[in-house]
Each structure stands twice: as C-alpha cells, then as structure tokens.
Chain A
Amino acid sequence: MSLLEIENATKLYPISGGLLGKEKQLCALNQFSMNLEAEPASITTIAGESGSGKSTIANLVLGFTSLSSGSIRFRGKDVNKMSSAELFDYRKNVQAVFQDPFGVYNPFYRIHHIFKMAIKHFKLATNKQEGRDLIEEALNVVGLRGEEVLEKFPHQLSGGQRQRMMMARAYMIRPRVIVADEPVSMVDASLRAAILDVMLKMRDQQGISFLYITHDLSTAYQIGDRIFILYQGNVVESGDTVAVIDQPKHPYVQLLIDSVPAPDPDENWGEQIDVPDEEETRFSDAIGCRYLGRCPQKTDLCASKAPILKPFSSGSPHQVSCHLYD
C-alpha cells in the first residue's frame, strides 16, 4: 500500500494584473503526481531551480499551504478530508528539515525547546527521564551529545550542529516521511556528508522515507533513489536518479546538468552559452511548453501544445515531458 500519494497537485496564486486590473493566476505547481511506497523506504529527490515549484511541494505536503486542485493522500486518506485526530497523526508521521538551520530555532529559547515541544505535544514520553533518554538517543544518531548542546542558545552552535539537531529532532518523532527542504545548502561542504549520511542511515535502519528537495543535482545523485526535475511548476523529467542524470533527455535537464561546474580543470564547461532571460511563463492560461523561450530545439508544436509526461520508452520508469520524444 502506498504511504504518500500526490495526485495532480496544482497550486495557483492570484496576481493582480497591473493597471487594467485583469486577474491572472500564477501556476506555482502544475498537475504534480507522485507515489511513495511504504516499503522499502526511499529517498525521492525533487530538483529544480528557484521558482520551479519544488518548495511549493514541500509546503503542500506539510500542510503550510492548501491545494488549488488535486489531492494528497496519506495511507489512502485524503489529507484535506481528515478529522483533526487523523491530521494530528499525519503531522506526527510527516516531519521536516528545513534549509536554514538557524531560523528554525526560536531565538528566545534554548536548544532543548525544539525537542521538548515535540515530546510534549506528541506525548512521546511519560516522564522526564524517558524524554531525556529519547533526546539523548536521537542526538546519538547524529553524533552529538546532550550536555554539549541542549542548554545552549541557537547562536552558540555551528550551522552543521544546528542542522544535525534538526535531523535528530525529526528522528526522535519517528515519522514515516521526512520532507528535507534543501537540508544541506546552507551547510559547509565538508559537513554536508554527515547530514546526508544520517539520511541514508534513517532510510536503511529506521525505514523512514525522504522527500529530498534540492537545487543541487550532485548530492541527489549521491544519495537519491528516484528523482523528479521541475521547471516552472512542471515535471520535465523523472525516473531513477542515476539513469536520469547519466542520460538526461529533456533539453532543459541536459543544459542543467551540463551547467554544473565540474571539479576538474581538465573538463571544461564548453562554449559560452546564451539563453534569453527567463520569462515568467507560469501563468495558468499559458499554452505550449514552458521551456519554449529558452529551448534551442523548439518546433512549432512546442508553441501550441504543452507536452505531457510519458515514459521515454514504453514501460520504462524514465519519463520525460518533451515533444522531441513524441
């Protein structure tokens, strides 16, 4: 049975249309569907540049924004139709780790506040000692010790420590899914591995699945199982992470992967490219392919009809949304 099912999730934002006052809708996410199986636990990457809609997915799954259309189901139950008890259960089972490891700590409280809050509301422990043990065990998983960190204020710790503690907090709650929204992009490169490693451990040892939301294809390549690549609210390509990144099909994904600077002076970037400045094409009334403005391989069809996501070759899990492969 599937654990988390997202079906045709769409998020529209109204924007005012300037002087004429004609209302337009900005489409932050368009018809996004994915399915997370309960077994085996996996890391699903949702990748894209800023404005691609990847954070919208995180906010939708976490219930911070509401869907314009489509549905999100947890263990078969529509999240929008849950009773408050079911919602509370969903909360406990779907946790998150955010990008900014500083902003998630209320500057007014000591570090232990984030742990105690979760213990209190989710009733994870019956007494103080039990709670203390829970925290200690969770910190252990990420390689920290309670006495080093719990009584401190957030600004007294390093970014890596703060982010590992967020991982520990999520672990302590024992959810089934963790939405990891850019968990390493504000952490120094040499400390990233520690956090990615915790993710792998939690997947393999605790059976916790991840929605790994990132702009960084390389880390996704290292730890991800499945990947969805978004462009302006649409999935342009999806499939097994290694397959997609080794052999990208969509012109955008090709450009994206090609643009990641290789850490090797002998492997050059190639010629200077020039793409027109990104235009806002996310309006809900836009027709045609969103990548039209930048695509070097566009045809007339691309302007008049939006491509749909379909398997690259029949039966293949590698899907692409581009008229080149019709």
Chain B
Amino acid sequence: MGGLTIQYVLRRFGIFLMTIWLASTVIFVIPRLAPGDPIQAMVSRMTQSAGYVENSEKIVEGWKERFGLNDPLHVQYVRYIKNLASLDLGVSLAMFPTTVKEVVGRAMPWSIGLMSISLVLYFFIGNLFGALLAWKRTPSLAKIAISISMIFTSIPGILCAIILIYLFAFNLDWFPFTGSFERGMQPAFTWEFISSVIYYGILPALSVVLVTFGFWTIGMRGMMVTVEGEDYMIFGQAKGLKPFYLLYRYQVRNAILPQITALAFSIGSIVAGQILVEAAFAYRGMGGVIVAAIKDIDYTVIQGTSFILILITATSVLILDLIYPLIDPRITFQKN
C-alpha cells in the first residue's frame, strides 16, 4: 500500500531543484555583495601567501574570462547557472589544466563510500541503542553501558578525529595517521588493497560514528517513549503478543518513521561533519580535496567541490523522501 502521488513526487523534485538553485545562487551572490572585486581579493591573497605567483597574469585573465567580469551581472549569473547545469565546473587553478570535474570525480567515490558506511552504522547503532534504552526489559547494566558510550555525542567529529589520532595513531601506533590506503599501493580489486582501505578507514569512520550515533539514540528513545503510550501498544499487549515482537513490529516500526524524516533533514550537517573528518585524516575524499584547495587558494576547485556536495546532499534527501511513502502507509492519506 502507500505509494507515491504525483503531487508528492513533484513537490519533492521541486525542493530538490530549489535547493540546488538557492545554494548556487547564494554562492554567486554573496561574494558579489561584498565590497571589492573577488578576483582582486583572490590574487592579493595568493600573492600574500606565495610571495609571488607564477602565471598570475594568466590566472587573472583566465578568471576574468571565466567569470566574464566585464559582462553585466545578469549575464554572468545566467552563464554561471548554465555551466553548473551542464556540470561544467571549470579548470583547477592550482593543477592547471586538470578540470575540476576530474579532481572531484576522483574524490567522490571515497567520500560517498565512507559516508554510506558510517551512515548505515550510526543510524543502525543509534536507533538500536535508543530502542534498547526505552525498552523495559533491557538489563539495566546494558542501559548504563549505552549511556556511557554516548559520551562523545554532540562534539564535532573533527575533535573526535584529533583525539583518536592522538590516542590510536600517535600514542598506541595502532592505526595510521592519515591517508586512505598504504602509500605506494596501486588501487586494484585485490584483497591486499581492500584490507588496506578498511584499515585506513577505521579511524575516520569511527570519528563520524562516535559523535553521531548518540543523537539518534536520544531521538529514538524519545520516539519510543512517545509510541509506548499509544493505544495500539496497549492493545498489542492485550492481544498477548510476545514482548520482542511487540517491540520491533509495533513500537520500533512506528518510532523509526520520524527518525527517517529526521535523517533527511540532517543530511546537510552529516555531509559537513564528514568533510571535516576527511580533512583531519587527509583522506582522499572531497574533504581532502577542499583542504588542499584552500591551501592552494584554488577557488574553482573549492567552488566545484561545494557544488557537488550540495548536489549529493540534495540527492540523498530526494531519495529518502521518495522512499518514505513506501514505508509509511499513511503518507497518501493527506489527500483526504
């Protein structure tokens, strides 16, 4: 049952496009609202940091051409949107003539991989722990253990990353400081390479999971408590259903729905937190790319990566929104 109405799908798609358009417009407008010429600002910062910039003339020219700074603003804006729509993100300034698309394209699988694995982990662990915290039959020792494990909740992932690096890489030397796989290794579908990727990925994933799952635990516990008071829970008990069945088919099944809605709303901050953790570990993902680009003052790469991040976020939200009606039979009810 359930299913998607056309209005629902259209609205979700509308929000998807709006999100991307609005974010890109903010990126376009704010630099131009500020006093002064963004190109001039860039160049002066480049000269500041490097003392002298090779090809600076050429870069400025490239910039002027790319932005068409002599054109009127609306022409610039239309061109900017057009370029984005065709995913033409320009050419890297620091790694000329590599295109931004290539740079981002290399990093994207790493980011998406790390993000999906950690997302599955903390969403699962968080909700499981939340459900257990609210369940009457959970042993109190387990409840205490869960509460203690939530100590990192709410701190920024990057701080957790620093602490983990300090403890497990610097002091104990169990895990590598930085990187995505062993230096010198060639990416290939070999057991050696894959195990290296996993080994290098543990600390970054752990940093994200440790600081995030607690939010889902708190939210899930709250929803579980709310659902517990519902009449259908009491009727479920009156039906003599087994406690565990009642827990997962009645209580968790209904409590998880708002959690999925919440997930859609927090994708933005999830992506942001992930980027920072990648930055701390100099991971090959988009976070690593951004850090490098910021150091090199590679504006096109910064802008392109950000745009792709916005795209990834909006797409994830769209997917979640489209999945949601399939798991909540009530969603089509709104038309009545």
Contacts and interface: CB of A to CB of B under 8 A. Distances in A.
Contacts of A18: 5, 335
Nearest to A17: B335
Contacts of B336: 15
A299 interface: no
Interface residues of A, number: 5
A117 interface: no
A19 interface: yes
A304 interface: no
B7 interface: yes
Contacts, number: 10
A18 B6 CA distance: 9
SS class of chain B's interface: helix, strand, loop or mixed?
helix
Nearest to B336: A15
Nearest to A18: B335
A15 B5 CA distance: 15
A19 B5 CA distance: 7
A8 B5 CA distance: 37
Contacts of A19: 5-6
Interface string A229-267: 000000000000000000000000000000000000000
A80 interface: no
A68 interface: no
A16 interface: yes
Interface in B279-336: 335-336
Interface string A1-29: 00000000000000110110100000000
A27 to B, nearest CB: 16
Interface in B1-29: 5-7
Interface in A14-72: 15-16, 18-19, 21
A18 to B, nearest CB: 6
A253 B32 CA distance: 72
A273 B187 CA distance: 77
A255 B335 CA distance: 32
A45 B336 CA distance: 30
Nearest to B5: A19
A84 B5 CA distance: 44
A19 B6 CA distance: 6
Contacts of A15: 335-336
Nearest to B332: A18
Interface in A167-203: none
Nearest to B6: A19
Contacts of B7: 16, 21
A15 B7 CA distance: 13
Contacts of B5: 18-19
Interface string A275-293: 0000000000000000000
Interface of B: 5-7, 335-336
**7 pairs of A and B residues whose beta carbons are closest in the complex:** A16-B335, A19-B6, A18-B335, A19-B5, A16-B7, A18-B5, A21-B6
10 contacts: A15-B335, A15-B336, A16-B7, A16-B335, A18-B5, A18-B335, A19-B5, A19-B6, A21-B6, A21-B7
